Amino acid sequence: MNFASDNVYGVHQQILDALSKANAATAPSYGGDDLTKKSEEKLAEVFGCDLRAFLVTTGTAANGLSLSAITPGYGAIICHGEAHIAVDECNSPEHFTGGAKIIGLHAPGGKITPSMVEKTLKGFIRGEHDPKPKGVSLTNATEIGTVYTPDEVKAMSGLIRPRGMKLHMDGARFANAVAGLGVTPGELTWKSGVDVLSFGATKNGAMMLEAVVFFDLALAEDFAYRRMRSGQLISKSRYLGAQMLAYLDNGLWLDNARRANALAQKLATGLRQINAIRIPNPVQANEVFAIIPRSLNDRLLASGAKFYDWMPDSLGGGIGEDEIFVRFVLSFATPEADVENFLKLIANG
């Protein structure tokens, strides 16, 4: 019963099969192979627009490099205070951008609003003594399992675009957001004003695969050099291309996300039936956050179940001394029986 992360599970068999097939022949290196080229074409088909896509191996690289195309070192990027770029990537965005400032805004529910960003922007009154606001980064699905709707993304873009700022989306769990909302990838990105997307695949069935997807094509002008300088131009790029094509083939990426999301709903439904457990936020993707008694937390961990306690600041209050805030993450590969057995373990305590 491992609900620690979607990273703990393996690679989808169709993606492994594609890697095996790619391994059977020779191919040009450094992105000159057909699989890498076709993956960009396939992404353009999936999103329904002209775009530029660059394959990389990690979400940290995707985020840092995306932001480097948006802001120079004297700039500032605004995000949620618990966003990966703010707290989980060891100053990678600052490194790749040459020193840009990441400004985290704290709010319950994992989402920032245009009014919060507008208030923050009003504080930039010192001219060149302040960093220059260059962009906003939205995480979708968020670090607390909620999602931004297309209308919410549009509202943010509508605020910052007239100010010459760009909109980045950290889509490590983008598939879960799209599946949860029932919208198209285009509706949640370029049609709503997103300029660049960190398109995640690793958490949802790939081995090691992310893509930096530019909808604002001008931002991609020198990106090949940025990727090379960062060590993210893979010599045997065909293995990334093979993964991406298999991931997108026949909607596998969305099928995986739908299954993970459905298991999250199943777990949340079961937890809500237990009086001692509270779920403070809507479950909109593949993560369930709950407030549980510390005694129950200890018993579950002792039984061998795996999950993490989470930052109580995410709640904005409302947690007792004898309670703990925890996170459960569901994967496309999580056995449904694990969810059922976990709920039985709680109920039989």
In whole angstroms, what is the distance from residue 257 CA to residue 302 CA? 30
Closest CA to 105 of 70, 136, 71, 78: 78
Q: Does 321 score more than 80 pLDDT?
A: yes
C-alpha to C-alpha distance for 228 and 234, rounded to whole angstroms:
9
Q: How far is CA 19 from CA 23, 163, 181, 199, 242, in A?
A: 6, 44, 31, 20, 6
Q: List phi, psi (to 5°) of 199.
A: -90, 110
Q: What is the pLDDT of residue 271?
A: 97
In this predicted model, what pLDDT tens digit does every residue of 118-155 receive, in sequence order?
999 999 999 899 999 999 999 999 999 999 999 999 99
pLDDT, one tens digit per residue, over 170-224 is 999 999 999 999 999 999 999 999 999 999 999 999 999 999 999 999 999 999 9
Q: What is the mean pLDDT of residues 242-254?
A: 98
| pLDDT at res. 74 | 97
- State how far the alpha carbon of 51 is from the alpha carbons of 7, 48, 115, 150, 275, in Å: 28, 9, 30, 19, 49
What's the pLDDT tens digit per position in 2-25?
999 999 999 999 999 999 999 998
Q: Do domains 11-252 and 257-347 have the same CATH topology?
A: no
Q: Is 151 exposed, middle or buried (0-12, 13-18, 19+ CB in 10 A)?
A: exposed
Residue % of the chain over a pLDDT of 70 = 99
Amino acid symbol at 218? A
Which whole number is the average pLDDT over 340-347? 94
For residues 333, 147, 317, 313, the Cα torsion angle rounded to the nearest 10 degrees is 70
Residue range 56-68, pLDDT digits in tens: 999 999 999 999 9
Q: Which of the following CATH numbers is that of domain 11-252: 3.40.640.10, 3.30.420.40, 3.40.1710.10, 3.40.109.10?
A: 3.40.640.10
Give the pLDDT of residue 242.
Answer: 98
Torsions phi, psi of 137, nearest 5? -115, 125
Average pLDDT, stretch 216-237?
97
pTM for the model: 0.96
Q: What is the pLDDT of residue 315?
A: 72
How would residue 318 be classed by pLDDT, with cut points 50, 70 and 90? Answer: confident
Q: Distance (Å, rounded) from C-alpha 264 to C-alpha 268? A: 6
Q: What percent of the chain has pLDDT over 90?
A: 93
User: Is pLDDT above 80 for 313?
Assistant: no
Q: Is domain 257-347 in CATH 3.90.1150.10, yes or no? A: yes
Beta bridge partners of 198: 170, 212
Instruction: Output the pLDDT for position 316.
Output: 64
- Residue the block writes with tokens 């999250």: 264
What are the domain boundaries of the chain? 11-252, 257-347
| Of the candidates 278, 349, 340, the residue with the CA atom closest to the CA atom of residue 1 | 340
When comparing pLDDT for 313 and 39, which is higher?
Answer: 39
Mean pLDDT across the chain, nearest whole number?
96
Query: What pLDDT, on a 0 to 100 scale, did the predictor assign at position 166?
Result: 98
Q: How confident is the model at residue 317 (pLDDT cuts 50, 70, 90)?
A: low
